[in-house]
Structure 1
Amino acid sequence: MIRLETHFNLNRILLLAIGLWPYQQSNFTRLQFIFLSTILTSSLIFQCTPFISQKCTLDFVAKILSSVSFFALFVIKYNMFGINIEAVKDLLEQLQLICNELKDKNEFAIINEYGCSARRCTAALTICAICSLPALIVAQFWSSILNNVLSINVSQPYRLPIPMEYFVDQEKYFYWILLHLNISFCIGATAMVGIGTTFLAYYQHTCGMFKIASYRIKHAMSNNMLQNINFQNELLIFEGLIWAVDIHRQAMRLTKHLQSSIQSMMFCIIVFVVASVSFNLYRIFQIIHADDISLNNVKELIMPIICATITVLYMFLSSYIGQYVTDHNHNVFVTVYNVRWYIAPLHIQRMILFVLQRESKDFVLTVGLFVVSIEFFATLVKTSVSYFTVMYSTK
């Protein structure tokens, strides 16, 4: 018997840290969710308040929205997952029930293989998130570090890595404001990695189910079965094909169920992903082509580069997993086509043709009218660059 908890160990740790692990929802974790959500949302609000206190120009708006659009991804991801946490729990329980019904050691090996792959992806993305923290610290304390290195005695004013307005003396409360910003960033980064890798691991397991469907078809239509056709073997072939169709149908159902549960979340994220890349690209080019290049300009480059890089990576991984699911479903069709169905009895051929007909239609993940695939990633990047070009041309 497979215990999915072992495949989601690191995901569980990440989600427990921010009160979002579906299986351990108590009053304390609900309070934890409300508290962390308040910190995250308030950080986003204080990034928008400079619109109230300062004059708005295109450059200023782009500067504010470059960070706001990025932090909005954190807020959307965290809160919408919290709202749909019961649906996620139900999906994980259904996945566990399907794993409990696997037939032999080869099928267990397939699911374990995909579970190990999911754990490796989770570990790699967690390490990347941890490694980005030093870059954030350097961005925040660049001036102080530089003053010490160059032995400059002139005191520099405190500057936040992104524009924020708390309507208090920012010099006096600088470290408290910086603490609030850093805590918000850590909550958001943990949410992005924890939630994203949980969805990735879930889809990895559904892809494992597609592979099991292919395995069952190959096993049912093996040469030994087809060369020794008798009543018992015919029953075994029918039973094997029924099991293959059943797990394939369940894989599609679970995939579509998760997709429908996070549809609104993903649509909002697409809007802010495009906005984040566009505004951060504009901000990068705005700093690079500034007339007065200084060390402070170099410091200001770090944050938009980090935001743009993380957003593009997130777009790519989301699109890749959609392509991954589509390819695994297509492999089931290829498997059915390649088996020696033409030497089977006529009534088995009819059943195979039924499966071929069902598989001839592509199974894809969609967000609204968009098909999630590598081509979709290219479209998002092209759209982001187009909006950036329009903004930059109006400068």
Structure 2
Amino acid sequence: MITVEDRYFRFNRTLLLIVGLWPYQKSKLAQFQFTCLFSILTSSIIFQLATFVTSKCTANFVIKILSVAIFHMGLAIKYNSFSLNANTIKYSMEQLQCIYDNVKDDAEIAIIERYGNNARYYTIVLTIFVGVSMPAVMIVPFWRNIFHIILSVNQSQSHRLHITTEYFVDQERYFYLLLLHTTVAFCIGVVALLATGTMLIAYLQHACGMLRIANYRIENAMEIHTLHIQGIILPSENLVYKRMIGAIDIHRKAMMFSKYLINKFEVSFMFLIAFGVIALSLNIFRIFQAVTFGYNIEEFLMLIVVTTICVLYMFLSNFIGQEIIDHNNRIFAAAYNVCWYRASLQVQKLILFLLQRRNKVFGLYIGGLFLASLQSFATLTNTSVSYFTVMCSMQ
């Protein structure tokens, strides 16, 4: 028996525990942890938007504030959506456990192991990437001081936050406290994005594993049937029939599992798509301005980090969606390629029933309009670049 949570989701559980989102731990301490972390993240957004109250709102100033504030809003939406859908995460884990409890074939268990390892590799690699990047972001505000210490330059340096905010206090006097708040808020948002994103990737990798098992069952059933015709083995025709039913059943479960998971996060994903495109276009525009007219190194590095996160998240989300589409299509390719004409009438009817599903494309649809795929990733990036060119022409 495969214990899904302990075997494949240990790293995901640790990340979700760090940000207070693990659905199986809902103690008062965990709720307090989530409230504190989410309050820090949302307060950072409020203090960024507060600059509109005290400053003159020119076009460049609005772009400067919104380029980072909208990114933080996306982080807050993703963080909160996982808290609201804690029961969805638990139910999906239980569904996955029930499906795997019925898997007895060694080859199918090997498939589960392979896709479970793929999910774990995604989590580890992305965690290492964030673990290496975050210290660099935290050091950026101090790079001038470190540079002057190394060169033994004896002159006072003015302090400046790498994110434009308005705390209604003397920012020079309370610089380190304000820097701590903005840095901690950014780290909370990115770690929450990492924890929730890798959890969804892990679930969808297991959905790909289920689709691969369906593919294997079709091929295996027809291989058994071919050997039976050739007289090499003599299984009952009922065995082939059961294998085909098993393939259709796990295919249906994989589709239901994926649809259920995506539908529960549909609203938050729609906001993330909109905020992601806007944030990416604004940050590309600011990078263009910085390269053209000169830049502050702290703000420039922050823009690079935000842009990289937006592009990486868009790509991975759509890449996993493309994986679902490709694995689903391979099932129909296997059904097309088998020697169906040699099968019994009952098995032929099952194959025909399976092929009829090919008439409707299956994938991760958001709002019934957006299909997660590499083509959609290209569309999103093209849209962001189009907005960027519009802003450049208006400038």
Using the size of structure 2 for normalisation, the TM-score is 0.96
Give 1:89's aligned residue.
Answer: 90
Give 3-state SS (helix, strand or coil) of 1:364's partner. Answer: coil
1:267 matches 2:273: no
Q: What is the SS of the residue equivalent to 2:11?
A: helix
CA contact (8 A) 1:225 1:237 kept: no
**355-364 vs 44-53, which moves further:** 355-364
d(CA) in 2 for partners of 1:394 and 1:307?
24
For the aligned residues, what is the CA RMSD? 1.6
Deviations along 1:23-58, one digit per CA (max 9) or x if unpaired, are 122121112111111111111111111111100111
Please give the secondary structure, in 1, of the residue aligned with 2:296: helix
Q: Which amino acid aligns with 1:83?
A: L
Q: List aligned pairs for 1:203-352, cutoff 5 A.
A: 203-222=204-223, 223-228=226-231, 233-290=236-293, 293=294, 297-352=296-351
Displacement of 1:232: 5.5
In the alignment, is the contact (CA less than 8 A) between 2:138 and 2:183 conserved in 1?
A: no
What does 1:314-393 correspond to in 2, within 5 Å? 314-368=313-367, 369-393=369-393
CA deviation after TM superposition for structure 1 residue 297, in Å: 2.2
Residue 161 of structure 1 aligns with which residue?
162
Q: Which moved more, 1:182-191 or 1:308-317?
A: 182-191
Structure 1 match to 2:126: 125
* 1:2 equivalent in alignment to 2:5: no
Separation (CA, whole Å) in 2 of partners of 1:151 and 1:121? 44
Determine the C-alpha separation between the residues in 2 that align with 1:76 and 1:315: 15
* Matched residue type, 1:63: K
Q: Secondary structure at the match of 1:284?
A: helix
Contact residue 20 and residue 31 of structure 2 kept, 8 A = yes
Aligned to 2:68: 67
Q: Any unmatched runs of 5+ in structure 1?
A: none
How far is the alpha carbon of 1:230 from its aligned partner? Answer: 11
Q: What SS is found at the alignment partner of 1:221?
A: helix
AA aligned to 1:256 is K
* Structure 2: gaps of 5 or more residues: none
1:51-200 pair list within 5 angstroms: 51-200=52-201
Shift of residue 226 of structure 1? 4.1
- Residue 17 of structure 1 aligns with an amino acid whose one-letter code is I
| Secondary structure of 2:203 counterpart | helix
Distance 1:190 1:325 in 2: 26
Letter in structure 2 aligned against 1:317: L
TM-score (norm 1): 0.96
